[in-house]
Structure 1
Amino acid sequence: MLASNFNTIQNHFLLEETQKLIKLEIIDQNQYEKIKKEIITTKTNSNILVRIGFFLLGNFLISIILSTYTLFLYFGDNFKIYGSYLFILGILGVFISEILRNKKYFSYGLDDSFILSIPLFFGTSIALFTESINLVFITIILTSLISTIRYVHTPSVFISLISFTSYMGYLVIEKKIIPFFLFPILFFILALVIYLLLFKIEQHIKYFIYKNVIFTAKIFSVLLAYASLNYFLVKELSNILVKNKLSNTEEMPLATLFYIATFFIPIFYIFYGLKIRDRIFFCIGLLSLGLSFETIRYYYFLPTEYVLLLTGIILFIIVYFSIQKIKNNTKGITFKEDKSLNPMTFDLIKAILINTHVNASTAIIQKSPIEFGGGDFSGGGSGESF
């Protein structure tokens, strides 16, 4: 199922890792350019604005195809025929995506639009054919997951996870597969399972080309774990989805658990992120901690000026003493730039250096403190002074 341009995509990510060798002064810029010329890599837009531009261009092309298609093939209110047309357009999206893959386009923008159209067209087609919500969710989840694996496509994994989470919510709310008060706990377990699965996948070097896919999925799972047990989200969703609405002063079932989780999870994220030096956990922990305080403010009023003043004082104290404590650290938690290579790619980068005949050994010429000639020290008498 994996795209046949596995090696070119792998070379694209390895070149990103090889750039760190320049910072480490193992190779220079000329040697890097030599490596870049000799290995085959993908056609990629590193500029996000250019990539968005090509993505919009791809959407424009798809809209032209769709409008032309419906202009000549109009059948009134017969939605099943339109479903068959959308199914054909989904196949066309797969065909064009395969052409772009063979041309070695990767994260270019144009390929993104056609890859994302695949679950859209197939999902809409199934909806018009069957009117089954179950089949629509399953179709979108599977097509997005296949696109993620086949084209190493990061946005598709996000769509797949969103669809899967929404489908689980639909089963709980509409089909009532479990009691509603267990709904948040189910989502927390789901987030935990997703993260552990990603952790296992991340250990294998052959999955290195999916590093951005795994990164996106990890962010989703970490955010889902916090959101599933946040007191504000749980209570407000309960008010929306069930008939018996609770006022701000009334407590819901398991309220103590959700209050504790609302603050414990962000603090755990912060300390765990610092311990394993994981930026995802640390940044999301800080963000979610702020949301936790805002949750309490929503139910227990505190004037805005006091909140801003107290928050500013606390943050200043924490940041100031943290910087003073760790700014000169060379190990563990530090402000110094991390120039280490990804251990999963070390052997592959070494093979690239050997195959491209790049000498990665840096000759360091040390200047002797004992100068000869001029009579400074050992050369006494060879100059005009002794």
Structure 2
Amino acid sequence: MKKAYNETWIANLHILNKAEHWAAKKLLTREQLDQAEKAFPQQFYRPGIFVKIGLFIFTLIACSFASGFISMFIIGDGGQENISIISLFCMAGFIFFLEFLIKKRSLYHSGTDNALLYAALGAAAIPILSLFQDLQVWQFCIIFFAITFAATLRYADLLTAAGSFLILILMLGDMMIKFPIGKAILPFGVMILSALVYMIVRKIKSSYYHDCRKLIEILALATFYLGGNYLVVREGNAMLNDLNLPFAPQIPFAQVFYFFTIGIPVAYIFFGLKKHDRVLLITGLLSLALSVYTYKHYFSPFTPAQELAIAGMAMIVLSAAVIKYLHTPKHGLSDEQEGKRKLANLEAILVAQHLGQTPGEDGNVEFGGGNFGGGGSGETY
């Protein structure tokens, strides 16, 4: 599908963001940063966060007024058909102005275009929900997934990307809970689907979908873990089977979910450290915290005060031990702040070539106060 935003500008924007990051660390001089801005131009309108929020709210209000104005001429007796026609008119208008402003005003996730996109999607949902009320949940999911997925492909919007993934999970769940065996294997279905989505999005290298890819990775890792978490599975099983008991009953294959609850966070942390993947590492740490809560919820012999004291002491001791161990970089890891470390990234050489910088005799490229080795990834994380 053809993309709405200028792909070259987006690629240049990512390069400039990295260049500004390096300049903030004194790895690029002001002159080199100016050269980068000339070599990689982009003309998107990207206001500050508060202006973006204001534009978003103002655009939504304008869309509401426009919808009300159109409805005065078509509302008729207020039947579902008339409301659907109004919604389709509004959807077409919102999409027209969205495309027009992107092309003529060079908007790029600036608040106005986000609001117009969401208004168009909301307008598209009204006739589907009102005219096809007999459809089952999974059938609605197929329709809405197609819409949000198409919107993600064209506009690379984070909310539509997250919506597409969550709709996919909902569709799977609704289809599986209709059968007794489906309820039993639902956790494994969620885990398999999450793993497949994660592997697919990891192959996306386009800078156009950079943020969407990161978000879907996080959601896929989270749902993969939640699908195997003992607490989620046990309580979810009781909810799906309408078991109104003080405590959710034990589930089949409990030992398997014990293993998943502990093993998945450990695997996330291990591979996050090994591959220097922050998404895996942070998701693993959060998952480990939920695993500890899961154990506490069912098996902990301590009072809440004792648990907090033990957890606090354990975190202090572990943090001190890790900081001391990594004071001298080991295995590509270091306890030093990122801004104090040297970067070694192959992309630096590529950017340097555009800026007219050439490697020195020792094979390094010097940018300001740091050295960039030509051997690939650096020794610290």
Question: Normalized against structure 2, the TM-score is what?
Answer: 0.84
Map 1:288-299 → 2, pairs under 5 A: 288-299=287-298
Secondary structure of the residue that 1:323 maps to in structure 2?
helix
1:179 aligns to 2:178 (yes or no): no
Cα distance between partner residues in 2 of 1:311 and 1:255: 26
1:152 aligns to 2:156 (yes or no): yes
Cα RMSD (Å):
2.7
Deviates most, 1-10 or 219-228? 1-10
Going from structure 1 to structure 2, the CA distance change for 1:116 and 1:238 (only over 3 Å counts) comes to same
Amino acid at match of 1:105: L
Going from structure 1 to structure 2, the CA distance change for 1:352 and 1:145 (only over 3 Å counts) comes to farther
Number of the residue aligned with 1:380: none
Cα distance between partner residues in 1 of 2:94 and 2:353: 37
1:100: how far off? Answer: 2.4
1:298: how far off? Answer: 1.9
Amino acid at match of 1:107: H
1:246: how far off? Answer: 5.6
Map 1:19-38 → 2, pairs under 5 A: 19-22=20-23, 27-36=28-37
Going from structure 1 to structure 2, the CA distance change for 1:76 and 1:294 (only over 3 Å counts) comes to farther
1:192: how far off? Answer: 0.5
Number of the residue aligned with 1:278: 277
1:318: how far off? Answer: 0.7
1:345: how far off? Answer: 8.3
Number of the residue aligned with 1:55: 56
Cα distance between partner residues in 2 of 1:345 and 1:359: 11
Map 1:38-77 → 2, pairs under 5 A: 39-45=40-46, 47-77=48-78
1:176: how far off? Answer: 3.3
Going from structure 1 to structure 2, the CA distance change for 1:10 and 1:318 (only over 3 Å counts) comes to same
Q: Could you report, residue by residue, the CA deviation over 1:259-298 in whole angstroms, capped at 9, with x for unpaired residues?
A: 2211111111112111111111111111111111112222
Q: Radius of gyration: which is bigger?
A: 1
List structure 1 runs of 4+ shifted beyond 6 angstroms: 358-361
Going from structure 1 to structure 2, the CA distance change for 1:16 and 1:346 (only over 3 Å counts) comes to farther
Amino acid at match of 1:270: I
Q: Is the 8 A contact 2:74 2:82 kept in 1?
A: no
Secondary structure of the residue that 2:251 maps to in structure 1?
coil
Number of the residue aligned with 2:378: none
Number of the residue aligned with 1:242: 241
Map 1:222-237 → 2, pairs under 5 A: 222-237=221-236
Q: Is the 8 A contact 1:246 1:252 kept in 2?
A: no
Equivalent pairs counted in the alignment come to 355
Number of the residue aligned with 1:198: 201
Secondary structure of the residue that 1:95 maps to in structure 2?
helix
Cα distance between partner residues in 2 of 1:220 and 1:42: 32
Deviates most, 135-144 or 157-166? 135-144
Q: Is the 8 A contact 1:20 1:339 kept in 2?
A: no
Cα distance between partner residues in 2 of 1:189 and 1:84: 40
Amino acid at match of 1:283: I
Going from structure 1 to structure 2, the CA distance change for 1:45 and 1:335 (only over 3 Å counts) comes to farther
Deviates most, 312-321 or 136-145? 136-145
Q: Could you report, residue by residue, the CA deviation over 1:131-162 in whole angstroms, capped at 9, with x for unpaired residues?
A: 22445322321222222221222222111111
Q: Is the 8 A contact 2:74 2:86 kept in 1?
A: no
Q: Gaps (5+ residues) in structure 2? A: 360-364, 369-381
Q: Is the 8 A contact 1:188 1:225 kept in 2?
A: yes
Amino acid at match of 1:18: A
Amino acid at match of 1:282: L
Going from structure 1 to structure 2, the CA distance change for 1:151 and 1:250 (only over 3 Å counts) comes to closer
Cα distance between partner residues in 2 of 1:105 and 1:18: 22
Cα distance between partner residues in 1 of 2:243 and 2:99: 52
Amino acid at match of 1:235: R
Cα distance between partner residues in 1 of 2:92 and 2:76: 21
Cα distance between partner residues in 1 of 2:344 and 2:98: 33
Amino acid at match of 1:324: K
Secondary structure of the residue that 2:176 maps to in structure 1?
helix
Going from structure 1 to structure 2, the CA distance change for 1:33 and 1:186 (only over 3 Å counts) comes to same
Going from structure 1 to structure 2, the CA distance change for 1:309 and 1:176 (only over 3 Å counts) comes to same
Secondary structure of the residue that 2:355 maps to in structure 1?
helix
The percent identity for this pair of structures is 21
Cα distance between partner residues in 2 of 1:140 and 1:48: 29
Deviates most, 265-274 or 338-347? 338-347
1:259 aligns to 2:263 (yes or no): no
Amino acid at match of 1:33: D
Secondary structure of the residue that 2:75 maps to in structure 1?
coil
Q: Could you report, residue by residue, the CA deviation over 1:146-202 in whole angstroms, capped at 9, with x for unpaired residues?
A: 2222122222211111111112112122x4395211001000001100111112223
Map 1:1-386 → 2, pairs under 5 A: 1-3=2-4, 5-22=6-23, 27-36=28-37, 39-45=40-46, 47-102=48-103, 103-131=105-133, 132=135, 133-173=137-177, 175-176=178-179, 179-202=182-205, 207-245=206-244, 248=247, 250-301=249-300, 302-329=302-329, 332-336=332-336, 337=338, 340=343, 343=346, 347=350, 349-350=351-352, 352-353=354-355
Q: Could you report, residue by residue, the CA deviation over 1:321-379 in whole angstroms, capped at 9, with x for unpaired residues?
A: 000010231761113326647656864x356435xxx8897699xxxxxxxxxxxxxxx
Going from structure 1 to structure 2, the CA distance change for 1:342 and 1:332 (only over 3 Å counts) comes to closer
Amino acid at match of 1:161: F
Cα distance between partner residues in 2 of 1:253 and 1:44: 55
Going from structure 1 to structure 2, the CA distance change for 1:151 and 1:351 (only over 3 Å counts) comes to farther
1:117: how far off? Answer: 2.5
1:235: how far off? Answer: 1.7
Q: Gaps (5+ residues) in structure 1? A: 365-386
Secondary structure of the residue that 1:179 maps to in structure 2?
helix
Going from structure 1 to structure 2, the CA distance change for 1:119 and 1:167 (only over 3 Å counts) comes to farther
Amino acid at match of 2:282: C
